[in-house]
Amino acid sequence: MMRCNTLLVACFLGLAGTALVGCASASKTHSSASSKARVDSLQTVNERLEARVRLLSDSLQFYDAIQSGQYRRERRALQDDLTRIAYEVQLLREGGYVIATLATDVLFERGTAHLKTGADDRLRTVAAQLRTTYRNRTVRVESYTDASPPVDSLYSSARALSAGQAAVIVDALVDLSDRAPAQFQAVAYGNTRPVASNETATGQARNRRLRITVLPQAYRVTHPYETAW
């Protein structure tokens, strides 16, 4: 009888031990999952706090820039650049900055693209200016005529005559200024842009003209706008 009781106690203790082990294992699993959820939550909170710190840091840098005058200086520099760009765009629309407007009759025989004797002397002043002041600029030579038909049979229209005259002036300026031909543009308007009436001799003389301009350089922003904020 004593032996049976001992066996019963041993079995009971064995079952209790197994139950305790199972409970401990379940408790450990639950605790691990809870810890992971807590860590994830803390990481999320940490990321939000870091984002707020960055935002506050940026705001403080912006405030410091305003206080130090950096913001105003860069804003003024940007405004200056925008004003310059607007001016140069307008120049491009108008064909460039005019450095000379010459009467065609002073340079060419009437109705032809033949330069008069001494025409080079009149072009030397322009060439010197191109060589010294506008060395790296593109030069544009525009030729305009009146409504009269060309005298030279080589040219079939006023536009063709103005093209010939513009090309002759470009060649002369290339030689006199010692610049590359690629830096020049020849533009022929013919009689399409009169500045006076073609009904009078005086008006026709005003319409026969050459305009020499220089184009703005390709614009480069001179201020680094990677600001602190």
CA 89/CA 183 separation, integer angstroms: 19
CA-closest candidate to residue 165, choices 144, 136, 193: 144
Rounded mean pLDDT of the chain? 79
Query: What structural domains and CATH numbers belong to the chain?
Result: 96-214 (3.30.1330.60)
CA 26/CA 107 separation, integer angstroms: 107
Q: What is the mean pLDDT of residues 192-219?
A: 92
Q: What is the mean pLDDT of residues 135-147?
A: 94
CA 72/CA 195 separation, integer angstroms: 46
Query: Does 58 have pLDDT greater than 80?
Result: no
Q: Which residue has the tokens 């639950």?
A: 30
Report residue 115 as tokens: 């330069």
CA-closest candidate to residue 193, choices 158, 155, 152: 158
pLDDT of 177-190, one tens digit each? 999 999 999 999 99
Query: Does 45 have pLDDT greater than 90?
Result: no
Confidence of residue 61 (pLDDT cuts 50, 70, 90): confident
Antiparallel, parallel or unpaired: β 184-190 and 139-144 = parallel
Helix (H, G, I), strand (E, B) or coil at 75: helix
Higher pLDDT, 208 or 217: 208
Q: In the prediction, which pLDDT does 74 show? A: 76
Q: In the prediction, which pLDDT does 82 show? A: 73
Higher pLDDT, 174 or 223: 174
Confidence of residue 65 (pLDDT cuts 50, 70, 90): low
Report residue 13 as tokens: 């203790």
CA 187/CA 179 separation, integer angstroms: 18
Query: Does 42 have pLDDT greater than 90?
Result: no
Query: Does 171 have pLDDT greater than 90?
Result: yes
Q: Which residue has the tokens 């203790």?
A: 13
Residue type, 47: E
